[in-house]
């Protein structure tokens, strides 16, 4: 083990690390927590605009806890992994109810909150409260596997256990914030998955992967498994310039968002619309699209169906949304794409099947 790993990393971070991210410069627990949740499985560049908009709408824990579910999901829409938003909202309410609105410092209390695992809890503890805690996100796993030559896929239990032990043993006696940020910065800016910039790395002379030319092999790859596929039809039930949406159940895919009604790929869309209580005229398909999740691939066939309904009648879990009001709605990314295409090409609709762009 490198005896000077921590001081070398801290010195590098202070000179070459990132210091202008919007959540830096403040150790306020709410902001740290929000950033860490958004950064789970999502790149910094993608997170920044969402973080700023979310913080503008919900500037503190109380504002988030008091917000309506739809408001929270609308601000998260497009960022993906929507269980993060539901857990964030639930955790804010728990902190208000069980901790008097004060963000907890103890690891056990952090781990008890929805959506916070071991590494996220450690990052919050390190940044917000300067606690000496080890993190082990994807970037850190890659850095440690390469520098110390840890074989195997980091998701395997034995490999992950070894990485956790290493991460704990490397912790510095002081400077935990710079050290933790340094691990994140090194993995995000130099020790990247593809085309790592080894020449600028402070550990290049000692790094096992660099010395052996094995940057492409370490860390080990996830065992390959074919992604299963699922095919559905999304029903675009249109009345004038309003479209019917249904709220997705939570938990589940797109839980808490407003989506288009679905039916199996081999079902008759007109019959499916009738089953929902709407008489549909003859419709037509739009261009299909594919949306890939972590564990499966979804083939979506949109089907446009003008329907008859009684204006102004609302139903629990359903919403008639004007095409001109898409921007503020909490919609899954593929649904937004479908409806934006429709809005761009439909024009005024007076009857029959509108034009499909």
Q: Which residues are tagged catalytic?
A: 36
CA distance 3 to 283: 69
CA distance 330 to 336: 9
- Which residues make beta-bridge pairs with 299? 231, 290
Residue 74's Cβ-count burial label (10 Å; 0-12, 13-18, 19+) is: buried
Please, are residues 83 and 72 in contact by the beta-carbon 8 Å criterion?
A: no
Respond yes or no on whether the N-terminal peptide bond of residue 219 is cis (omega within 30° of 0). yes
CA distance 127 to 30: 11
Residue 312's Cβ-count burial label (10 Å; 0-12, 13-18, 19+) is: exposed
CA distance 319 to 309: 13
Comparing CA positions, the residue from 137, 88, 95, 144 lying closest to residue 116 is: 88
Structure tokens at 146: 């390469």
Structure tokens at 216: 């492409």
Structure tokens at 103: 């963000």
Comparing CA positions, the residue from 121, 29, 34 lying closest to residue 85 is: 34
């Amino acid at each position: 083990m490198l005896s000077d790993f921590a001081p070398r990393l801290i010195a590098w971070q202070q000179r070459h690390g990132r210091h202008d991210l919007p959540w830096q410069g403040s150790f306020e627990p709410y902001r740290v927590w929000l950033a860490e949740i958004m950064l789970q499985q999502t790149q910094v560049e993608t997170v920044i605009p969402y973080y700023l908009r979310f913080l503008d709408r919900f500037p503190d824990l109380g504002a988030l806890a008091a917000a309506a579910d739809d408001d929270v999901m609308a601000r998260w829409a497009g960022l993906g992994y929507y269980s993060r938003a539901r857990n964030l909202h639930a955790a804010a309410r728990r902190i208000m109810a069980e901790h008097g609105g004060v963000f907890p410092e103890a690891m056990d209390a952090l781990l008890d909150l929805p959506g916070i695992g071991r590494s996220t809890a450690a990052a919050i503890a390190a940044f917000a409260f300067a606690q000496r805690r080890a993190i082990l996100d994807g970037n850190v796993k890659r850095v440690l596997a390469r520098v110390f030559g840890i074989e195997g896929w980091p998701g395997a239990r034995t490999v992950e256990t070894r990485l956790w032990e290493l991460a704990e043993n490397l912790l510095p006696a002081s400077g935990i914030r710079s050290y933790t940020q340094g691990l994140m910065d090194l993995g995000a800016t130099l020790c990247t998955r593809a085309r790592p910039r080894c020449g600028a790395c402070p550990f290049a002379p000692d790094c096992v992967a660099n010395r052996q030319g094995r940057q492409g092999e370490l860390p080990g790859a996830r065992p390959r498994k074919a992604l299963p596929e699922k095919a559905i039809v999304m029903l675009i039930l249109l009345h004038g310039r309003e479209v019917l949406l249904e709220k997705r159940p939570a938990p589940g895919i797109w839980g808490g968002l407003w989506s288009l009604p679905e039916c199996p790929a081999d079902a008759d869309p007109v019959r499916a619309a009738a089953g929902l209580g709407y008489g549909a005229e003859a419709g037509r398909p739009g261009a299909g699209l594919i949306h890939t999740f972590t564990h499966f691939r979804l083939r979506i066939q949109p089907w446009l169906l003008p329907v008859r309904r009684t204006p102004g009648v609302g139903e629990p879990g359903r919403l008639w949304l004007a095409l001109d009001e898409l921007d503020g709605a909490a919609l899954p990314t593929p649904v937004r794409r479908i409806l934006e295409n429709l809005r761009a090409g439909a024009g005024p609709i007076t009857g029959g099947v509108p034009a499909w762009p």
